[in-house]
Structure 1
Amino acid sequence: MALFSGNQKNTAQNVYTNMRTYLAQKDGAVHVVLINSFSQLANQVFKCDEKYTTEIDYVLNCMQREGYEILDIKFNSIPNQGMTGNRTGFNTLITYR
């Protein structure tokens, strides 16, 4: 995996720890959680975005290990974000039960 994947996993772990307070109780109803994130730096080439993939995959795996059923994932991208304007912003909406 990527050079910084350890840091990305640590970041994802912190995000998941904080977002757990916003996850609904497992009551059979459908719920959503929205995650805001950024692409990796220098993402102008055709390849897997390791940062986004590592971070979102970690969150999804944690949710599933805790018994949540992932129903759908939607995202949108916003170009020219970040302090330098060289990153893509992502909003990821996870629908779960």
Structure 2
Amino acid sequence: MGLFSKSQENSSRNIYASNVLPNLHAKDGNKHIIMITSFSKWIDQVFGVESKYTTQIGHIVDKMQEDGYKIVAIEHTTLQNQGLFKSMEGFHTLITYK
């Protein structure tokens, strides 16, 4: 795991604890949703895995499952020309869970 991957994982760990977990519904058998907003790597012009998104959203999904939530579906939308210099993609990830 590289330096950037470790930083991205630490970031997602903080986001999970401070933003995601407090917004999750109680485990009541009903379906619920949470939307996560994120950005691509800065200057992501190559064909390959979007490692920042994969690391950060992957960690959030893993933590939700470790905390006993069942993931029902994951959907995302992509927004072009995001960020200060319009060089990033924005992602909205909708996680449906029980």
Q: What band does the TM-score fall into relative to the shorter chain?
A: over 0.9
SS at match of 2:64: helix
**What amino acid sits opposite 2:74 in the alignment?**
I
Kindly report the root-mean-square deviation, in angstroms, between the aligned alpha carbons of the 2 structures.
0.8
Query: What's the offset of the Cα at 1:42?
Result: 1.4
Structure-to-structure mapping, 1:57-72, within 5 angstroms: 57-72=58-73
TM-score by length of 2: 0.96
Taking every aligned residue pair, what percent have the same amino acid on both sides?
A: 42
In 2, the alpha carbon distance for the partners of 1:21 and 1:60 equals 15
**What amino acid sits opposite 1:13 in the alignment?**
R
Contact 1:38 1:52 in 2 (8 A): yes
In 1, the alpha carbon distance for the partners of 2:43 and 2:58 equals 21
Where in structure 2 are there 5+ consecutive unaligned residues? Answer: none
Where in structure 1 are there 5+ consecutive unaligned residues? Answer: none
Consecutive aligned runs of 4 or more in structure 1 exceeding 2 Å deviation = none
Aligned length: 97
**What amino acid sits opposite 2:71 in the alignment?**
I
In 1, the alpha carbon distance for the partners of 2:68 and 2:28 equals 11
Match of 2:56 in 1: 55
